[in-house]
Structure 1
Amino acid sequence: MTHVIAIDGPSGSGKSSTSRGVATKLGYAYLDTGAMYRAMTWAMLQRGIDVNDADAVAAAAADVTLTSGTDPQDPTIHADGVDVSEPIRGDEVTAAVSPVATVPQVRQQLVDLQRELIAGAADGIVVEGRDIGTVVAPDASLKVYLVADPVARAQRRALELGVEDAEAMRQALARRDAIDSTRKTAPLAQADDAVVVDGTHLTLDEVIDHIVGLAQR
C-alpha cells in the first residue's frame, strides 16, 4: 500500500516548499494539487470561458487533459500538452483560480486524477493541497495541517512572487482563505486526525525535518 503524506493548509503557509523537501528526504513522489487547479484555470482562460459561469466551466473542463509530473526535484504540469508551469503562477490565473476551483465537476474530475496518481506511486507520495486529508486521501498514513501567522504568510508569498506590497498580499490571502473555507464542495478544513504544524517561527528546514520525523515515527 502506498504511503501517503497529506499536507493541507491555507495559501502562503509554505506547503509547496515543505512538501517537496519532505518528499525529497523520504525518496517519495510529490503532487501539487493546487497547480492542477491553476492549470485548469489557465485552460479555461485560453478557451475564453467566463470563469464565473460554473456551467460553462464544468462543460469545458471535461475536454481538458492535465498531466502532472511527480518528481519533487522537477515537478511539472501540462495542460493539453502545453507546459504551463510558469503561466499558472501569473496574475491572470491567480485572480481566476478560486471560482474555477469551486465548481463541483472540476473538483471531482481532478480528485479522480489525483487519486490515480497517488495509487501509481510505488513507494510513497507527499500530496499538498487544501482537501487532501479530508477528501482526496482520507486514509493517508500521515496528515499535516500546515499553518503560519497571516503576516508571515503574506511576506513569504510576496517574496515568492516578487511583490513589494505585503499588506495587499495579506488581504488577498485573507480573501482566498474565505473563499476556500466556505465553498460548498471540499472546503479548506483541518482533518480531525491531522497534526497541526505552525511554521511561523521555524525555518523551512526545521519544518521539513519535523514532518519527516512524524512520518518516520
Structure 2
Amino acid sequence: MAELRGTNPYHIKPPEPKVLPKNYTQGVDNLSSEDFLKIYIETLRYQDPFQPQDLSKMLEDMTRLNQIRYMNDMKSFMEGLKGWFNQITLLSSLSLIDKEFVFSTNKIDTLKGGQYYLLSSEDIKGATIRIMDGDDVIKEYQVDINKGLNPIELSDLPKGHYSVQILKNGMPVDSLNLGVMGKIKSVSVSGGELLFELENGELVSPSRLIYAGGM
C-alpha cells in the first residue's frame, strides 16, 4: 500500500508575479523594432495620400491593448495569490477541528441551545443582567462580572430568541461582548472566504472568534 503523507502548508509556493524589465515601455513591450517598422511601412504603403493616417493614433490603440493585457495578467496573479492564501489558511485551520471556541453573537437562541458568555475587559461589581424579549424583561439578576469570560445564567428561560442588557447603577454598560460556545466540526472555503462549520450546523466566519482557551 502506498504511503500517505500530509501536505506541509509552508512548502506550497505562491504564484509568481510577472516581473517587468528595467527598460519596459508601456504599450510597446511586446513589439520588436522590426515588427514596428513593418507595420509603419505597410501603413504608409496603403494610406490615402490625401488623407494620411495618424501614426500616433495607432500607438495609442496599441497602448490601450497592452494596458488591458497587463490588467488581465495582474488579475490572474491576484486570483492565484488569493487561492494560495486560502489553501494555506485552510490547511493551517485543520488543527482547530473538534475544539471549542467562543464566537460573537447579537442574540441568545435557546432553540439551538448552547452555553452563552459575556466577555469583559474589566471587573464590574454589582452588574445587572437583563434577558430581553423585545421591550419585555424575561429574566433579571445581579452578578459580579469578572475580567475575561463570564457564563450567563439561562435556566428556566423559555424557548425563543433574546437580547441581553448589562446595567451598572442603572446605566447601560457597552464594554462587553456577547458570545456563544461552539465546537468546530469542519473547515471549508466558500466564495473565497474561510468558514467554520459548528456542531449545530451553523457556518461562521473566523472573524467572529472572540475567545480561545480554558473556559
For Structure 1 versus Structure 2, the TM-score category normalised by the shorter chain is under 0.3
TM-score of the aligned structures, taking structure 2 as reference length? 0.19
Q: Which has the larger radius of gyration?
A: 2
TM-score of the aligned structures, taking structure 1 as reference length? 0.19
Structure number having the greater helix percentage: 1
Greater RCO between the two (CA within 8 Å, min separation 6)? Answer: 1
Structure number having the greater strand percentage: 2
